[in-house]
Amino acid sequence: MKKALAIDVGGTKIYNAVIDEKGEMLTEVEKHSTPHDLDEIKNIFKSIIEKYENEVDAIAFSTAGAVNNENTKVIGSTGNLVKGYKTIEFDKLSKKKVFVENDANCAAWAEHVLGASKDMPNSVMLTLGTGVGGGIIVNNKMLKGKSGAAGEMHFKMYPDKRRHCTCGSYDCFEAYASGSGLKKTAEEMLHDENVTTYDVIDGLKAGNEKMTAVFNRWQDDILAGIIGLANLFDPDCFVLSGSMAEFVDTDYLEKSANAEIITMPTKVLKATTGNYAGMIGAALLALEVK
Amino acid sequence: MKKALAIDVGGTKIYNAVIDEKGEMLTEVEKHSTPHDLDEIKNIFKSIIEKYENEVDAIAFSTAGAVNNENTKVIGSTGNLVKGYKTIEFDKLSKKKVFVENDANCAAWAEHVLGASKDMPNSVMLTLGTGVGGGIIVNNKMLKGKSGAAGEMHFKMYPDKRRHCTCGSYDCFEAYASGSGLKKTAEEMLHDENVTTYDVIDGLKAGNEKMTAVFNRWQDDILAGIIGLANLFDPDCFVLSGSMAEFVDTDYLEKSANAEIITMPTKVLKATTGNYAGMIGAALLALEVK
């Protein structure tokens, strides 16, 4: 059975594991802190690859940032990653095949092959974490667009400049539907800039009325995004993943969205492939498992 | 050379012409008022088809409303068309091949094969008329989604219920970026419910300050939509068509969008295939011209 060395590159951690074409992990997951120096990142990549490349068929990177259509390098915004990250020539890091894809796209692919959206040709993955990632699958293929950057969840929730977004613009879906967005919504509604995402979640669990109202407002912003995306893509389902997804009421989102969309009813599901979906999806993509 | 009988079905008019696989019109365009009775509509279809079906290879309908993935019938909202329109079995109207597609999708295909988006694999067409239609092409294929209804331009501009939309919901892109949206923006900004779209356009041309401000606000709502769609689809270009498109400043939209999007630069172009783009696109699709 074919296998890949999967490497997940995030703003704070780098993970790696060997994964086979069924998505099974063949090694323990190794963790490293993400260095803030370009050469140090490259050295980590090299040492991981050196250790495993003889026993695998491909090296599969799941990374923050948009990745080109050739799956060889990062072209778009890379969040917290070091300046110069885009200059890395991933395909020259190994004598084996090297495949690179955006982490949300990888996670969407893992769900498509093995998880919540299995057997559904059209799906939209939303990773609700500190930010919001997107991975869109159209007719069993990853939506990449002209340069590979498609699926960025930066469409406007308001066109009149209320909130800054990490992308440099204003009022994107990410600025509302993310964990950071939940904190901001809480700050605005409670007039308290020290309130945290944890305060809202704890309050929600404890049945606190104000915190529940904040949470519901945040969830309804996610709903607004889902409605728009459902009308644009007419997907079989939405898959929600990421640290914030566990708190979301998918039944409410599905029912409310289906009451409003003009396309046919869709599903809203939680991801099932777990925390390492990015690595699993990258391995499946690198090994061309569909 | 192959040819199709193309029939365009809109809320007020039905057009027909014979069109070859190069998109050339071989007959004069015939026009009929759209009846408000289902049997009368069917009778018009039958009489047009009877007249031409022996000399063509296919019957190609470009119609209001979403069309299924088999291109045989209308499944979605049909705007001003008669109740029961969705029950028409288009494929039984002729002994020849019958192909049905949504009018905005047909227009997008005409532009893709012959017009502004020629040689570009990824494009988003916006038809700015009384409403807003959408046709999205991904990797040289029409984006249809699970049931055929993808490309509906009903994503929210505001999530807090300001304006009703024709779809039954609130605050969709169509409710702002359409001709009706321009009238509504004028009403709101000028506190005058009798102001018309024509008043705004006439004022814009005459350099009237208030009307120019209304127009700019409307155009910036279109810009907001283009930014979101560019981040989602990473298209080679946007193509603007429809009666309102002629007034739009595509250079401004392109420059402003490219300053804000996080995907690679895109183009904003005006459609070039003219008023009968729907019929031309339907004919090309029916004759499988790519």
Q: Is the pLDDT of residue A78 over 90?
A: no
Q: Is the pLDDT of residue A232 over 70?
A: yes
Torsion of CA B221, B222, B224, B229, to 10 degrees: 150
Q: What are phi and psi of B84, to 5 degrees?
A: 95, -10
What pLDDT shows up at residue B158?
86
pLDDT classification of A160: cutoffs 50, 70, 90 = confident
Q: Is A265 helix (H, G, I), strand (E, B) or coil?
A: coil
What pLDDT shows up at residue B79?
66
The string of pLDDT tens digits covering residues B7-49 is 999 988 999 999 999 999 999 999 999 999 999 999 999 999 9
Name which of B274, B224, B219, B272 is nearest B249 in CA terms.
Answer: B219
Please tell me which residue, B158 or B233, carries the higher pLDDT value.
Answer: B233
**What single letter denotes the amino acid at residue A198?**
Y
What pLDDT shows up at residue B184?
97
Window A:137-166, CB contacts with B under 8 Å: 138-139, 141, 143-159
DSSP string covering B152-207: ----BS-SS--SB-TTSSBSBHHHHHSHHHHHHHHHHHHT-TT--HHHHHHHHHHT
Q: Which helix (H) or strand (E) holds A198?
A: helix A197-206
Name which of A98, A22, A227, A182 is nearest B167 in CA terms.
Answer: A227
On whether any CB of chain B is under 8 Å from the CB of A76, the answer is: yes
What pLDDT shows up at residue B22?
97
Window B:30-59, CB contacts with A under 8 Å: none
DSSP A139: T
Instruction: Give the pair of three-digit tokens for residue B228.
Output: 């979101």
Tell me the mean pLDDT in the region A160-187. 94
What pLDDT shows up at residue A80?
74
Complex ipTM value:
0.95
Mean pLDDT of all residues belonging to chain A = 95
The beta-strand segments (E) located in chain A are 3-9, 13-20, 30-33, 58-63, 97-102, 123-128, 132-138, 141-142, 237-241, 267-270
Inspect the interface and report whether the beta carbons of B138 and A143 lie closer than 8 Å: yes
pLDDT classification of B77: cutoffs 50, 70, 90 = low
From CA B51, how far away is CA A61, in angstroms rounded? 60
- The rounded radius of gyration (Å) of the Cα atoms in chain A is 19
pLDDT classification of A79: cutoffs 50, 70, 90 = low
pLDDT classification of B82: cutoffs 50, 70, 90 = confident
Q: Are A166 and A130 a contacting pair, CB within 8 Å?
A: no
Q: Global pTM?
A: 0.96
Count the neighbouring beta carbons within 10 Å of the beta carbon of residue B8: 27
What pLDDT shows up at residue A61?
98
Inspect the interface and report whether the beta carbons of B159 and A233 lie closer than 8 Å: no
Q: Are A106 and A100 a contacting pair, CB within 8 Å?
A: no
Q: Is the pLDDT of residue A77 over 70?
A: no
Q: Are A247 and A270 a contacting pair, CB within 8 Å?
A: no
* CA-to-CA dists, residue B258 to A106, A211, B135, angstroms: 27, 38, 21
From CA A125, how far away is CA A128, in angstroms rounded? 10
On whether any CB of chain A is under 8 Å from the CB of B77, the answer is: yes
